[in-house]
Amino acid sequence: MVDYIKESWNELTNHVTWPTWAEAQRLTVIVAVFSVVLALVVWGIDTVFSGAIDRYFTWIKS
């Protein structure tokens, strides 16, 4: 377990390329915008299908 922790720390400090602060901010904004757009798309699809199913069951009851 100690070797694992040492090797992990070595990997993080010597072999990982960390983004600059500006790049991290830019990528965070991109992820946030994409998440909002995807949530709106899912909401829109859900609304359309919900309305279609509601109309279908209303039509079946008539």
Whether residue 13 lies inside any domain: the answer is no
pTM: 0.68
Q: Domains in the chain: how many in total?
A: 1
Q: What is the pLDDT of residues 26-54, one digit of tens each?
A: 999 999 999 999 999 999 999 999 999 99
Whether residue 1 lies inside any domain: the answer is no
Question: Could you tell me the residue range of the domain that residue 59 belongs to?
Answer: 21-62
**Counting runs of H as helices and runs of E as strands, what totals does the chain give?**
2, 0
Cα 22 from Cα 30, distance rounded (Å): 12
Whether residue 41 lies inside any domain: the answer is yes
pLDDT value at position 62?
Answer: 78
Q: What is the pLDDT of residues 2-19, one digit of tens each?
A: 999 999 999 999 999 999
Whether residue 28 lies inside any domain: the answer is yes
Whether residue 6 lies inside any domain: the answer is no
Cα 29 from Cα 23, distance rounded (Å): 10
Whether residue 32 lies inside any domain: the answer is yes
Whether residue 2 lies inside any domain: the answer is no
Cα 9 from Cα 16, distance rounded (Å): 10
pLDDT value at position 9?
Answer: 96
Cα 49 from Cα 46, distance rounded (Å): 5
